[in-house]
Amino acid sequence: MQLRYTFRIEPGPGQRSALARAFGCARVVYNDGLRARETARSRGLPFLKTGDLSKALITDAKQTPERAWLGEVSAVVLQQSLRDLDAAYRNFFDGLEGKRPRVSAPRFKSKRDNRQAVRFTANARWSLTSGGKLRLPKIGDVKVRWSRPLPSTPSSVTVVKDAAGRYFASFVISTDPSEMLPETTGAVGIDLGLTYFAVLSDGRKISSPKFFRRAEKKLRKAQQNLARKTRGSGNRRKAVVRVARAHARVADARRDFHHKLSTTLIRENQAVYVEDLPVKGLARTRLAKSVHDAGWSAFVSMLEYKAARYGRTFTRVDRFFPSSQLCSACGVKDGPKPLEVREWTCRACGAVHDRDVNAARNVRREGSKVAAGQVETQNACGAQVRPVLVPAQRAIRTRVRKKQEPTRSCQPTGWVQAGIPGL
């Protein structure tokens, strides 16, 4: 698998100007390519290929007075900008076909965007100097804040300028199979929450740091200060950067917490089981701010890729599994309970349970069954979930609309045959 190693870089004044020029040229080529494809689509012409765009928008454009300044930056940066446009179209079309979650169509990039990035591949002949600096074509040797050595030779590097005005170099690294951790016998189930960020099946409870809540007062003051500034003024631009830096500190602290906790759990346990939470749905409730502050999705993603990297077992338990309703001692389903009930007694065996610890133990038991293939994952309607394709359940087939239009079933298997002739 491939990973990214990101380090802070410190370009000088001239190098910042060169990077700004590269950001602008890459953005112009991206917008030109998008405009050309949209024009071809509106005229009913075939989809323009990347090779044709590259010749017209880069090679030929450099010979014109209007685009002669494209020759001031590395040609690889411009080529990779068109690759990014291809990726945006691919994601859009895959979303329409149901291969991935839907995303919007590619949009034009603005020079006022706070985040800018350019990518250098091996063809750009970038390198790391003996002094530990990053040598970029037509930019120079840039100082890097190395926090750790790179495990192998990177295949590409992306230079990013974030909203807070900081510069980063992101290296793409291929992992080495020798990084596998020695096997252990531990297994843990994780119940994620808000009062406690995570409760483990062994009884440990990890408190929620609530980074955003702790910094909310400072963020509010910075935002109020920004609102008082005149639009288009220099003071407003400075206030925008101050707000971005305040949010960056919160995001960095949360990311550091997620990395440390996920690494600890992966190192200590051979198998990690976690419940698949409906984060998007919870983010539309009154708990939205706390849900975003916890960052469950980012944490679970870290667990997943670290388990794959170090040879551990990672399993998601279906979100409809009643982990809080089952007794972890006897397995009897004791029914739903309101959120204010944090401790309950099983009516069948009399065992007293902490709600979160009991849920984590049930997640661990169910996760081990899912990993062993003993549990068939189902959706809310009781039908099988992909990869097995099955017809819609007879009991859940939807009624036909007045306009005789087919409607979607609650199953992810496509259009439902609703008894209309010809469908």
In the structure, what pLDDT confidence band is assigned to residue 181 with cuts at 50, 70 and 90? confident
The model's pTM? 0.82
Q: Left (φ > 0), alpha (ψ -120 to 50) or beta: where does 190 sit?
A: beta
For tokens 């399993």, name the residue: 315
DSSP H or E stretch at residue 80: helix 75-96
Average pLDDT over residues 186-215: 93
Count Cβ atoms below 10 Å from residue 105 Cβ, excluding itself: 13
How much is the average pLDDT of 265-292? 92
315-356, pLDDT tens digit by residue? 999 989 998 888 988 888 888 888 888 888 888 888 889 999
Would you give the DSSP letter of residue 397? P
Query: Are residues 300 and 291 in contact, defined by beta-carbon separation less than 8 angstroms?
Result: no
Q: Which of 144, 126, 192, 142 is nearest to 324 (CA)?
A: 192
Per the structure block, which two tokens stand in for 392? 């819609």
Mean pLDDT of the 137-151 span: 94
Q: Can you tell me which residue has the tokens 């992966």?
A: 266
Which structure tokens are listed for 204?
């440990």
Cα distance between residue 415 and residue 395, in whole Å: 16
3-class DSSP assignment, residue 88? helix
pLDDT for position 344? 86
- Mind telling me the catalytic residues? 191, 275, 356
Residue range 266-282: mean pLDDT, rounded: 92
